[in-house]
Structure 1
Amino acid sequence: MDPIRVVITGAAGQIAYSLLHSVAKGDVFGKDQPVELMLLDIEPMMTVLGGVVMEVMDCSLPLVRNVVPTADPMVAFKDADVAMLVGAMPRREGMERKDLLKANVKIFKAQGQAMDDVAKKTIKVVVVGNPANTNAFICAKYAPSIPKENFSALTRLDQNRAQAQVANKLGIPCNDVNNCIIWGNHSSTQFPDVSYATVKVAGKELEANSAIKDDHWVRNDFISTVQKRGACVIAARKLSSAMSAANAIVDHVRDWWQGSGDRMVSMAVWSNDNKYGIASELMYSFPVKTAAKGKIEIVNGLKIEEWQRERMDLTCKELVEERDAALAECEE
């Protein structure tokens, strides 16, 4: 089997360090799929990245055919099949999202342009660096020859956080919780929603709401906890989420590459095909189902109540504002 070429940006950073082993040993693309790892970071990090390359080599993983460290996007994205765009200035305690946007948007503009020039037109791209949704929008905009549906942003971390909160509330394993949804932006306006979730309790599959039996928790504490989880991690670690972010990237790309089956999963994707009244030309998180080799379909037709509508529109408004600010920043 021919290897696939996988780009990981910010490859000398803490998320990539947690991510690389899973990608290299087959957790994402399958246990028989060889990979070439194209590791991109900035020039001052090349010595550190050299050490990461040594560690990948020292793992002696049979699926790894080649490892290329580089500071040149044109080298990294050449003929790439998949890109995991992790590298960005991380959010630190006290930073606002507008600070992140200003610092990071031009990075993703340049990477989009490089992909447009040299990557395969079938490349699958997940953006992790924050503000992830808007960075994904910018990346897609500046890669006009690549279909917009080939770009996504990571909200699987938020879905995993939501799933864990429900499991903890009910005292059940996390894999007994399915179909938690994240609507909107990977930010404090995101809307974690268990309205369509199911849980397995004492061997019986139930609607999550009927098992939880606590509407106040569902509409208040649960949502707030998931929305603020990233900030809580930063407050505790003095660093942003790494292990859990890497795990979510694995989940996101595995489901995109191999298919999600009957499960709904959350991805921020191009909004134009939604039937929920969300503005077009945004990277908005929806419930989706994925088929093998990369087809993503928004799950349309879910019943939306007024209280859900308000939260969905609030996070949409933030995304529109971020998009417009990012476009202005790119044009300066």
Structure 2
Amino acid sequence: MSEPLRVLVTGAAGQIAYSLVIAIARGEVFGTNQPLDLLLLDIKPMEGVLNGVVMELQDCALPLLNSVTPTCDESVAFKDIDVACLVGSMPRGEGMERKDLLAANVKIFKTQGNSLHQYAKKTVKVVVVGNPANTNAMICSKYAPSIPKENFSCLTRLDQNRAQSQIASRVGVKVADVRNVIIWGNHSSTQFPDISQAQVKVQDKLKDVRSAVQDDSWLNNEFISTVQKRGAAVIAARKLSSAMSAAKATCDHLRDWWFGTESGTFTPMGVISDGSYGIEAGLVYSFPVEIAADRTYKIVQGINIDNFAREKMDATKNELIEERDLAISVCED
């Protein structure tokens, strides 16, 4: 076995982390031969709950778990970490607008950016899950200038998983038979789930999604709306935000980043834009990416953007610009 990997999960006493930490500790993300040092961070009022999570991890008798460190101190939590799963944030409640979250949460991610800058390894891989995830990731990177911009990402894999599930159900195939759905933009109701490059395996033959679904009206309207509003629908049903599915998507995101994407497939990640597809450089925007075995990614190029797609991609870009400007003003107050 190799040296233990130091993995931080913030908001570790919360709902998403409750599903996430067990999956990581069982080897579902970094492999079944990779020992782990788990660092679990939460705020002081959650310290008792956090200690309960640690007890449960101990009681699971997990062979890969070298150590578990619960803490409310960022200088302890971020020290020499290899991976940061930034889950902790104020959750969105029923009827709550994303903008209501932004002012409360960006200051958390400013502080955590500073902690990454001060304490983490400069090779650390960071995935932001706490909403508004794209803008939080941008702020986090801004305040961690010693860490390469390409080491920051935010979660849009949940949106891809939702989109694949909707398509698989419509066609009557397994979710694994759907690939290369693109999520453009913000992890919000303005995101654009794009099926222009997506394929479905039907009776051992690959077909493009439009041919497989044979319902353009559904694909151009209900499908997009369902994926965009799925988080709100879960909140309305559970009275709580998506937790299990967000944890699973975080695992998918990290596993692909760690081991690379399969040949011929790509995955969506919120990454800092380099200007591709006319998206303003510096925004954290979800693009389709291919990930190499050395954990470097590249934005997939050459995708034809028609007028329908352009309008939706620009709408989510404009929302991100508005969020960025508000976030920076909050942080500079």
* TM-score band, normalised by shorter chain: over 0.9
User: What are the superposed Cα offsets for residues 210-249 of structure 1, whole Å, 9 maximum, x if unpaired?
Assistant: 1111111111000000000000000000000000000000
* Mapping of residues 291-330 of structure 1, within 5 Å: 291-330=292-331
> TM-score, normalising length from structure 1?
0.99
Amino acid at match of 1:127: V
**Gap change, CA 1:293 and 1:38, over 3 Å in 2:** farther
- 2:299 is the alignment partner of 1:265: no
Gaps of 5+ in 2: none
Q: Distance in 2 between matches of 1:257 and 1:103?
A: 31
- 2:55 is the alignment partner of 1:41: no
In the other structure, the counterpart of 1:65 is 66
In the other structure, the counterpart of 1:243 is 244
Deviation, 1:36, is: 0.3
- 2:207 is the alignment partner of 1:206: yes
Equivalent residues, number: 331
In the other structure, the counterpart of 1:76 is 77
Deviation, 1:294, is: 2.1
- 3-state SS, counterpart of residue 146 of structure 2: coil
Amino acid at match of 1:307: F
- 3-state SS, counterpart of residue 302 of structure 1: coil
Deviation, 1:293, is: 4.1
Amino acid at match of 1:158: D
Q: Distance in 2 between matches of 1:44 and 1:275?
A: 43
Deviation, 1:43, is: 0.4
- 3-state SS, counterpart of residue 277 of structure 2: coil
Deviation, 1:277, is: 0.7
- Whether contact under 8 Å (1:256, 1:293) holds in the other structure is no
- Whether contact under 8 Å (1:264, 1:288) holds in the other structure is yes
Q: Distance in 1 between matches of 2:276 and 2:81?
A: 32
- 3-state SS, counterpart of residue 229 of structure 2: helix
Q: Distance in 1 between matches of 2:230 and 2:84?
A: 26
Q: Which moved more, 1:160-169 or 1:287-296?
A: 287-296
* Mapping of residues 102-181 of structure 1, within 5 Å: 102-181=103-182
Amino acid at match of 2:89: A
User: What are the superposed Cα offsets for residues 264-311 of structure 1, whole Å, 9 maximum, x if unpaired?
Assistant: 100000101x43111111000000011134211100111111110110
Q: Distance in 1 between matches of 2:156 and 2:232?
A: 15
Q: Which moved more, 1:31-40 or 1:289-298?
A: 289-298
Q: Distance in 2 between matches of 1:11 and 1:313?
A: 35
- Whether contact under 8 Å (1:177, 1:200) holds in the other structure is yes
- 3-state SS, counterpart of residue 33 of structure 1: coil
Q: Distance in 2 between matches of 1:72 and 1:322?
A: 29
Q: Distance in 2 between matches of 1:106 and 1:294?
A: 29
In the other structure, the counterpart of 2:219 is 218
Q: Distance in 1 between matches of 2:262 and 2:325?
A: 36
- 3-state SS, counterpart of residue 223 of structure 1: helix
In the other structure, the counterpart of 1:255 is 256
Q: Distance in 2 between matches of 1:164 and 1:148?
A: 31
- 2:197 is the alignment partner of 1:196: yes
**Gap change, CA 1:293 and 1:71, over 3 Å in 2:** farther
Deviation, 1:73, is: 1.0
- Whether contact under 8 Å (1:275, 1:301) holds in the other structure is no
Gaps of 5+ in 1: none
In the other structure, the counterpart of 2:32 is 31
